[in-house]
Structure 1
Amino acid sequence: MVEFTRRKLMASSAAAALGIGAIGTVSADDTDTPGAPTIRGDIDRLATTARGAEVTGPFVFENGEVLFSLQHPSRENAAPYDTAAVGVLAGHQFEFNGRNDEFDELEAPRSKAAREQVQVAGGEYDILVQEGEEINGGSERWGHPQTPDGTDVTEFVGSRYGDVGYNPDMNFFVPTDDEGLEGYLFTNNETSPGCITRTPISRGEGGWSADAANAMELENREAFREIGGTRINCYGDLSPWGTPMSSEEDYSHPRVSGPATVGDVIEAESGVGIRGAAAFWNRPNPTEIAGVLGDDGDLFEESWYPQGTWALGGVEMQAYYLGAEPVDQDGDANTTEPIGEGYPNRYRYGHIVEVTEPTAAEPTPVKHYVMGRAAFECPEFMPDERTVYLASDGASKGLYKFVAEEPIPSYDDRMDVRGTLYAARVTNDEAAKNNPPAEVDLEIEWVELGTASNAEVASWIADYDDITQVDYLETHADVDWESDLEAALAAADEEVAINGNRDYITDAEIVEWARQYEEYGPDGVDEELRRIPFLETRAAAKAIGATVEFRKAEGIDSLDDAEPGDFLYLGISELNDGMSDDEGDVRMDRVDGGVVYRAELEEDYDVSTLEPAVVGPDATDRESIVDAAPINVDNVMVLDDGRVLLCEDKGSFGRSYPNDALWVYEPPTSVHIDSVAVRQDATAAAELTLSAVPDGLAGGTVSVSVDHTDVAEITGATYHDALELTAGPTVSDDGSTVEFQFADIDEEIQPGATDVSVATVELEGASMGTTDISVTVDSLDDDDGAPIESRPHTGVVVTGPPPIDGGAGGSGAVPTDPDGDGRYEDVNGNERLDYDDIVLLFEEIEDDSGSLTVDAYDFNDNGRIDYDDVVELYDEL
């Protein structure tokens, strides 16, 4: 026997020094935060779910009927509400008129019977399919994965990620007829191995019904097994081209816990007290690692819990699903006997999975590896078919954006999809001054992580395909595990805790990637290191200063046909850990009830400001307040009329009833002024519009102002033709402000109208630069004389550079920015990029480089005008 000596090391001291506390806890010790709760707009309760269940996977059919999942209801409820299910809110249909007056708000459930079932305003919950139901002619069970030989994974002993089939989430319907009344319902199940079930459903005179006999568990198809299957499938999206997008919510992906970085591990010369669950992925019986990291296990002096360890549950089941030989199945719990061939590759999980050809006999899955790895709750694919926003659940997580180089469906092979991955960074100081969330917008910029294709990332992932639990022992312990498994496991655990898991990407590689990134930029890193931001997305984002502090970002959605000026909604289920502490970019007052933010979509579907739209209550608020406010909003879904479904995943709050609710949020009217680009000494028009007037528009007084008249001035304005009674408009002498006063005396603007044009503002460019153009609402009244709740939105005026008159290509015309990127490629002002632009810039650099406007012509982004800018402009041509 080989002797093994344990070393006692301090775990808690390193964690405390880095500010890592308990991850994922909700505290009732919450102060009375101003503005909690706040609802900017109106909100009404449409349904409550059965006791113990979340409201998840909302979907609204074309006819206005609503469907959602009954996720993990209490087993003590009366049947059938003791079993997970998916059902339709029969008797309720949205009219898509932008108003909540189409239904009477549901009262909170008071009786025991009401609390044990789904309650619907004006209707009832018709169950379509339920957990474990026989499907596919009896060869499969709904929500249950199988091994290659057809054995249900519930037959095996081992750790689990919840009850199999008990956690249905995403639901998206792909119609197979023109009326949208029959087709396939795609449902996620949060389990390991994961599940995506395709169920035929149709609507007849009696309502919606499911054809369980012809439903299929997609996970059991060979095409899914070839990509490793899926894991912990949470919410998702339906792409603009009609394919379901499933999110793998792999909480076990963190390399380091809480706000710590891999650099902190290197500096501490140990990962004790800092490492996350990812380090122990291929450990035999991985969920038991927390039990040996101190105290009872006695490996270290004080215990610590790697973030995400609980989500290692079900990894052995994933191996059996893939065909690995099951280890000892005689008992009733996991053993530490290592699994060899067939163990799953951890880098294959935590992705967005597209179900292509969704109506085919055998749908084909594609993992969009290039969109990174995280505990993805859901993506939002924008109408440009290139931009994707990605929200990650849990504590201390990032908010991500992916932009494809071409529209995603235009790629003949999805593995050729290529684009750039970004992480959000919060930039405004007000976000870090411990202010109430209701009073603070989050200003964000997007930090580029890297550019690649699905095929490239897939090739990097494949390098780790053959790693097993045997490797964990043989790589990290000098002890012969076959002779003394206990000693070998203890030695390996200690080595991995201190120095990391060398079977996968190492700490040193991540730190070196970050160093090269800072020195050379994302495209200048060594070829071998390009994999880092795609395989270790959270760790990479942390290493270069992105804001990895978001807490339980569980919902993200916008209009299906959203355009610039519309809104993207983001649900933060709990605003506490990571977002309400004393470090980082976000330090706000704690609101355990969470916040729903919204962001106005800009050109190219970018977003730069998250504004609080719905703020939940404090944990200490009285019962009457908590009863009437949304708590822990999870999934969000924007209706065609701009209203938003808010689905609760309620935390430990003192409501008078224990049930989660489905709320309908009616946002306030947005008073919007366009952003415009204008040449010097030229004019441009900006439209002043109201997003919606549910109860009509009687009139109002509104002013528009530019902050910097040395950049642009207001020179005139006109009213929309529908407004018959008006005053002015009055432009100030300095051109900074115009005031509008108007009344719709002929009631030309009807209740329920959207995108209501009020006036046009004329602006003249004065000198190169940018200035905000803002709106002030003094009053707005509806047709009943009641004030219209409104939210003004600021635009931007961009004035271009002056003409360059010298050189052969000089025309005296004002340069333009053809692609809107802030650089003026059209140097000679002829409305296009051509060779004369390169010549003119080349000739003017030698004599006038000091007078050229750097911001306009710095094409290589090095802060000055030089000959490389000429080369960059030529390359663009």
Structure 2
Amino acid sequence: MVDFSRRQLMATSVAASVGASVAGGVVSGEEEDTDTDNAPSVDGEIKRFASTALGAEVTGPFVLPGGTLLFSLQHPSRENPEPFNSGGIGYVQGYQFEDGSDFEELDVPNTNEEKGRVRVGEGEYTLLARENDNLGNGEDLGMPTTPDGLEVDEFAGSRYTDLGYNPDMNQFIPTNDEGTEGLLFTNFESSPGNVTRMPISRDDDGTWSADLENTINLSNTEELRSLGGTRINCYGDVSPWDTPLSAEEEYAHTRTSLTSTVSDIVEDGTGVGHRGGAQFWNRPNPSEIQSAIDEYYGDDSWSVQGFWALGGLELLAYYLGADRVDQAGGYTENTTTPIADNYPNPYRTGYIVDFREPDAETPKPVKYHVFGRAAWECPDVQSDEKTVYLSSDGSNKGFYKFVADEPIPSYDDPMDVKGTLYAAKVTNKEAAAKKPPAEAELELEWLAMSRASNAEVAEWIAEYDDVSQVDYLETHADTDWQEDLEAALEEADKEVAENGNQNYITDEEIKEWGELWSEDPESTVADRGRDDLRKVPFLETRAAAKEIGATVEFRKSEGIDSIEDAEPGDYVYVGISEVNDGMSDDAGDLRTERVDGGLVYRGKLEDDYNISTLEPVIVGPDATDPADVADDALVNVDNIYVMDDGRVLCCEDADQFGRSYKNDCMYVYTPPELKDDGGDDESEETTENGGHGNGNGNGNGNNGNGNNGNGNNGN
């Protein structure tokens, strides 16, 4: 995932430029932290297979039929030598991951030449396509356009990131029986978001090639634009019914900041100190809200969680066809003139997107609104075709499950998919708090939040389609914005901060839904005459989960995956990039010791495909562990991919801590049961080292010119 965030709780602050990661003071080295036992450690074995170019994450792992590994080169430093200075999609030529295959472990990058390129333990990394490659229809790879064909990059306005610079997910749909030809679907993590479909094929000598002439940006199809487009497309999966699933990592969904709840706002009588970025969605120049809050409230200012992810919203509006009123000087300057038409509906982004009929001239995108709305890193759909696990990235986030009434592909129309959305609650907080993270299993109870069909949720979403930036001013300010825009904007900002954004679901609706749920969790709110409140957990998923006591404390819940056709007894793996913030404070259900290098959990599927326990299998280093410890440990795991033989590819998006190098790596994890069955026993089975965490958060971010910064994440 791309993590362009900024955290601060300082009395005053200077707003970070959108797309940059700037260190702040929430979870930082200012805190005293002792060594965490068994950090790092591995139950099984990890071996480094690849290191990526400086500045880049390792994203989008996928093993093609025959064993060829694909992965993306995401936001590399512009200072790297060609071709490793631009975003790209590549594969490992000359090596195949086969059942139990071994490889020579890659050493750490030492020289500038090694640090500036992608290296692999076996074979050679070869790029298939790069940022700005021209496609047959005249578009550039990964670049969204307006309905009349103008590249969105031409507009002035805040950026989430450079468009086309952040390829992430790669999912391959074969088009022949041998799997030597097929369609590669790649996410681009930006706003507007994008998914490309690229035909690729394997030659007799084992080399793969891309057909750029017939590659398309799906964002620029009417089918996807009619759904409101996408934002921040991160990782994904191939469904059991053989379609690509793309996850929208909508960080700006955060209605309340960090640990705050809607009930806290009601109890305090004001949202000051509590509001998150989502409440300022339709503000003119929304990504500037943190600067405004700092100016308005001074010493009482707070970190508006997710505000930075409002960057790119106005570009999304132009992508959807908004009149170009927010431009000056030939699209060179952004102003605060409000956009009055085609402004994005917040409730249309933050979902799992299924591209049905992937080999049609234009695939048919479907958004699964019933899965809930969040900063989804990835879905993991089980082989029962009904159960879906979902991980949400950022600080103080939940862990979710959706269970359909019937197998999802059995519905003639995917809008008829109906089922129950659940949020996880950790029930053994006392036991978990007494052990280091390497020894602390988490016991889960699943709280049923609500039931609906995809079509029902779509109808609720449509109620908010006509809300614009003009509405933000006219609803929340007494001053006529056309007479004094600056005064009206300040009035509106303060009104929203204090009493909430009245253009969307209100605090009162969320609180009332939570109270009705708490009175009788087994009954639906519809049974008590409030069918109108059923929309709350689907459109305001995180806020609703907080209201009913779910564990909304997970820190950067990243990749999630299980073996293809997983059955009861198999494992679902979940990466937690950092164990700090809500996971390691002294409140709530999670009060573990800090491990800023993160960890990997796994949960065993039960007979009904339920998971009731998460056990740690890989633990990263503490933040101040020296190079001889940190160099060979998994740091800040991101994407996870379970191969057919049960081994797990673990990709990093790392704050490198004490490492001797700054490159992110990919490791191959061999679970203990595979080693016991005759796997490679040459390496030590478990590594245990002490360390000291200084709390520097993960945050590889791009500031729009290729430079990457490390900082704490308030996403």
Give me the TM-score of the superposition, normalised by structure 1. 0.73
- The answer as to whether partners of 2:573 and 2:600 remain within 8 angstroms in 1 is yes
Q: Counterpart in 1 of 2:69?
A: 66
Pair member with larger Rg: 1
Q: Counterpart in 1 of 2:197?
A: 198
Q: Counterpart in 2 of 1:533?
A: 537
- The answer as to whether partners of 1:92 and 1:121 remain within 8 angstroms in 2 is no
Q: Secondary structure at the match of 1:560?
A: coil
Greater per-residue strand proportion: 1
Alignment deviations for residues 373-393 of structure 1 (CA, whole Å, 9 cap, x no partner): 000000001111000000000
Q: Counterpart in 1 of 2:703?
A: none
For 2:10 and 2:501, the matched residues in 1 are separated by: 18
Deviation at 1:433, TM superposition (A): 2.4
For 1:303 and 1:103, the matched residues in 2 are separated by: 53
Q: Summarize the Cα distance change of 1:605–1:123 in structure 2 as closer, same or farther, 3 Å threshold.
A: same
For 2:316 and 2:218, the matched residues in 1 are separated by: 15
Query: Which one is further off, 499-508 or 87-96?
Result: 87-96
Q: Secondary structure at the match of 2:270?
A: coil
Q: Counterpart in 2 of 1:158?
A: 157
Aligned with 2:57 (options 37, 41, 54): 54
Q: Does 1:586 align with 2:590?
A: yes
Write out aligned runs for 1:91-170 (5 A).
91-97=94-100, 102-137=102-137, 139-170=138-169
Deviation at 1:298, TM superposition (A): 3.5
Q: Secondary structure at the match of 2:631?
A: helix
Q: Counterpart in 1 of 2:315?
A: 317
5+ residue gaps, structure 1:
1-9, 14-20, 670-690, 696-750, 753-781, 790-877
Aligned with 2:303 (options 302, 305, 309): 305
Alignment deviations for residues 670-689 of structure 1 (CA, whole Å, 9 cap, x no partner): xxxxxxxxxxxxxxxxxxxx
For 2:236 and 2:504, the matched residues in 1 are separated by: 28
Write out aligned runs for 1:659-808 (5 A).
659-669=663-673, 693-695=676-678
Aligned with 2:548 (options 544, 548, 552): 544
- The answer as to whether partners of 2:399 and 2:552 remain within 8 angstroms in 1 is yes
Aligned amino acid, residue 513 of structure 1: W
Aligned residues: 660
Q: Secondary structure at the match of 1:188?
A: strand
For 2:650 and 2:428, the matched residues in 1 are separated by: 28
For 1:647 and 1:301, the matched residues in 2 are separated by: 40
- The answer as to whether partners of 1:26 and 1:576 remain within 8 angstroms in 2 is no
For 2:10 and 2:627, the matched residues in 1 are separated by: 40
Aligned amino acid, residue 627 of structure 1: D
Aligned with 1:78 (options 77, 81, 86): 81
Q: Does 1:471 align with 2:462?
A: no
- The answer as to whether partners of 1:290 and 1:306 remain within 8 angstroms in 2 is yes
- The answer as to whether partners of 2:71 and 2:170 remain within 8 angstroms in 1 is yes
Q: Secondary structure at the match of 1:134?
A: coil
Aligned amino acid, residue 558 of structure 1: S
- The answer as to whether partners of 1:431 and 1:586 remain within 8 angstroms in 2 is no
Q: Summarize the Cα distance change of 1:652–1:95 in structure 2 as closer, same or farther, 3 Å threshold.
A: closer
Alignment deviations for residues 527-574 of structure 1 (CA, whole Å, 9 cap, x no partner): 010000000000000000000000111110001111111111000011
For 2:344 and 2:685, the matched residues in 1 are separated by: 56
Deviation at 1:31, TM superposition (A): 2.5
Q: Summarize the Cα distance change of 1:517–1:105 in structure 2 as closer, same or farther, 3 Å threshold.
A: same
5+ residue gaps, structure 2:
1-8, 13-22, 687-715
Q: Does 1:362 align with 2:388?
A: no
- The answer as to whether partners of 1:430 and 1:440 remain within 8 angstroms in 2 is no
For 2:237 and 2:633, the matched residues in 1 are separated by: 26
Alignment deviations for residues 91-116 of structure 1 (CA, whole Å, 9 cap, x no partner): 2211212x6xx211011111111110
Aligned with 1:623 (options 622, 627, 649): 627
For 2:596 and 2:95, the matched residues in 1 are separated by: 31
Q: Secondary structure at the match of 1:541?
A: helix
Query: Which one is further off, 365-374 or 197-206?
Result: 197-206
For 1:585 and 1:108, the matched residues in 2 are separated by: 38
- The answer as to whether partners of 1:376 and 1:390 remain within 8 angstroms in 2 is yes
Q: Counterpart in 2 of 1:524?
A: 525
Bigger RCO (CA 8 Å, 6+ sep): 2
For 2:54 and 2:95, the matched residues in 1 are separated by: 21
Q: Counterpart in 2 of 1:634?
A: 638
Q: Summarize the Cα distance change of 1:293–1:618 in structure 2 as closer, same or farther, 3 Å threshold.
A: same
For 1:347 and 1:589, the matched residues in 2 are separated by: 36
Q: Secondary structure at the match of 1:141?
A: coil
Aligned with 1:87 (options 85, 90, 93): 90
Q: Counterpart in 1 of 2:348?
A: 348
For 1:347 and 1:24, the matched residues in 2 are separated by: 29
Deviation at 1:90, TM superposition (A): 1.1
Deviation at 1:189, TM superposition (A): 0.5
Alignment deviations for residues 673-710 of structure 1 (CA, whole Å, 9 cap, x no partner): xxxxxxxxxxxxxxxxxx67432xxxxxxxxxxxxxxx
Aligned amino acid, residue 152 of structure 2: V
Deviation at 1:657, TM superposition (A): 1.2
Aligned amino acid, residue 549 of structure 2: G
Write out aligned runs for 1:467-506 (5 A).
467-506=467-506
For 1:623 and 1:226, the matched residues in 2 are separated by: 51
Q: Counterpart in 2 of 1:33?
A: 36
Q: Counterpart in 1 of 2:174?
A: 175
Deviation at 1:632, TM superposition (A): 0.4
Deviation at 1:301, TM superposition (A): 4.6
Aligned amino acid, residue 87 of structure 1: G
Q: Secondary structure at the match of 2:223?
A: helix
Deviation at 1:303, TM superposition (A): 2.6
For 2:427 and 2:157, the matched residues in 1 are separated by: 45
Q: Secondary structure at the match of 1:298?
A: helix
Deviation at 1:32, TM superposition (A): 1.1
- The answer as to whether partners of 1:253 and 1:308 remain within 8 angstroms in 2 is yes
Write out aligned runs for 1:253-272 (5 A).
253-272=253-272
For the aligned residues, what is the CA RMSD? 2.0
Deviation at 1:61, TM superposition (A): 0.9
For 1:652 and 1:95, the matched residues in 2 are separated by: 31
Alignment deviations for residues 278-303 of structure 1 (CA, whole Å, 9 cap, x no partner): 11000001011111113xx2355533
- The answer as to whether partners of 1:188 and 1:246 remain within 8 angstroms in 2 is yes
Alignment deviations for residues 337-367 of structure 1 (CA, whole Å, 9 cap, x no partner): 0000110100001000000100110111000
For 2:292 and 2:174, the matched residues in 1 are separated by: 51
Alignment deviations for residues 399-433 of structure 1 (CA, whole Å, 9 cap, x no partner): 00000000000111000000000000000033552
Deviation at 1:24, TM superposition (A): 7.4
Q: Secondary structure at the match of 1:344?
A: coil
Aligned amino acid, residue 590 of structure 2: V
Alignment deviations for residues 484-507 of structure 1 (CA, whole Å, 9 cap, x no partner): 111111110110000000000000
Deviation at 1:205, TM superposition (A): 2.9
Alignment deviations for residues 38-68 of structure 1 (CA, whole Å, 9 cap, x no partner): 1000111111101110000100012111000
Q: Counterpart in 2 of 1:657?
A: 661
Q: Counterpart in 2 of 1:336?
A: 336
Q: Counterpart in 2 of 1:824?
A: none
For 2:477 and 2:684, the matched residues in 1 are separated by: 72
Q: Secondary structure at the match of 1:591?
A: coil
Query: Which one is further off, 356-365 or 647-656?
Result: 647-656
Aligned amino acid, residue 244 of structure 2: P
Q: Secondary structure at the match of 1:370?
A: helix
Q: Secondary structure at the match of 1:495?
A: helix
Q: Counterpart in 2 of 1:747?
A: none
Q: Summarize the Cα distance change of 1:692–1:666 in structure 2 as closer, same or farther, 3 Å threshold.
A: closer
For 2:525 and 2:251, the matched residues in 1 are separated by: 31
For 2:641 and 2:403, the matched residues in 1 are separated by: 22
- The answer as to whether partners of 1:145 and 1:152 remain within 8 angstroms in 2 is yes
Aligned amino acid, residue 461 of structure 1: I
Aligned amino acid, residue 182 of structure 2: G
Matched-pair identity in %: 58
Q: Secondary structure at the match of 1:196?
A: strand
- The answer as to whether partners of 1:567 and 1:601 remain within 8 angstroms in 2 is yes
